Amino acid sequence: MPSKSSLRLRARDTDRVDVCGLLDSAHDDGQLSDFEHRDRTKAAMSARTLTELDALVSDLQIPDKLKGSLPVRSADPDRRRIPGVAAAVAAAAVVALGAVVFSTIGDDGADAPDRPENVLSAPGLARMIEDLRARYGDVVIDEATIYPEYARIQRAEPGAPGMYQDIDYRDGLEEPDPRTGRDPKTVPVDLAQLDIPAVVGLLLGAPQTLGVATPDSIHVSVESGDQAPEVSMYLSDGRAGTSGHLTAGFDGEVFEIYPADD
């Protein structure tokens, strides 16, 4: 059993990934319903400590080959835990996304080389939103298309009806490019209302939800919907010729699902 002191440690992204892999495995073998799997995955994505992660899997039967992925730290704080088989179980959600949601850890346990923040990770989205706030004083936009490496953002040009700013975000905000042709009926959305853990949790489970097991392309669009702001997730696997997408609210509630086999 893990010690109380070890479970009070802050969780890393790799810890959250491992637990999501365990939850995927439990869902696949019938221990968790679709509802339970979704709720626990969402909780895992927003967990702050190992205690919170441990509570999400403590009642599950864990296969021997996956026990190395339980959220337990070594007594040696300098020892890095290598993601276990759970990473393979969650491959559709993490590894196969090319680290869309999280950074990866090398086979020898060492951290991957430094690189720009993955925009579709929880810290990446939070950083993008804060960069927008710092530059403009708010995070109200017309729409955004977000990829792992960058984002394209459109927002109204202040004091210029019919114009919008086309903004390129690549590890920071580029200078906006003013353009004409903004639709006067455009309804802006406020990114401050985006539930980042819920949305990233939904993204983590999207390969399973959409039946695109090993996506090699993914992007997320954010814009106003018919009733409320929406987030749409698009996954495709060029090698298998499969693709699917889903639409959800800013709180992670799924509105529509278009799986690959439809």
Together in a domain, 69 and 185: no
User: Does some domain include residue 206?
Assistant: yes
The domain containing residue 186 runs over which residues? 116-262
Please indicate, yes or no, whether the overall pTM of this predicted structure exceeds 0.75.
Answer: no
**Total structural domains within the chain:** 2
Per-chain mean pLDDT for the chain:
79
Specify whether the CB–CB gap between 224 and 188 falls below 8 A. yes
Write the pLDDT tens digit of every residue in 168-215. 999 789 999 999 999 999 999 999 999 998 899 889 888 988 999 889
Q: How confident is the model at residue 43 (pLDDT cuts 50, 70, 90)?
A: confident
CA dist list (Å): 156 to 44, 119, 161, 168, 169: 36, 22, 8, 15, 16
- Tokens 């491992």 locate to 18
28 backbone dihedrals φ, ψ, rounded to 5°:
-65, -35
Q: What is the mean pLDDT of residues 61-66?
A: 80
Together in a domain, 189 and 136: yes
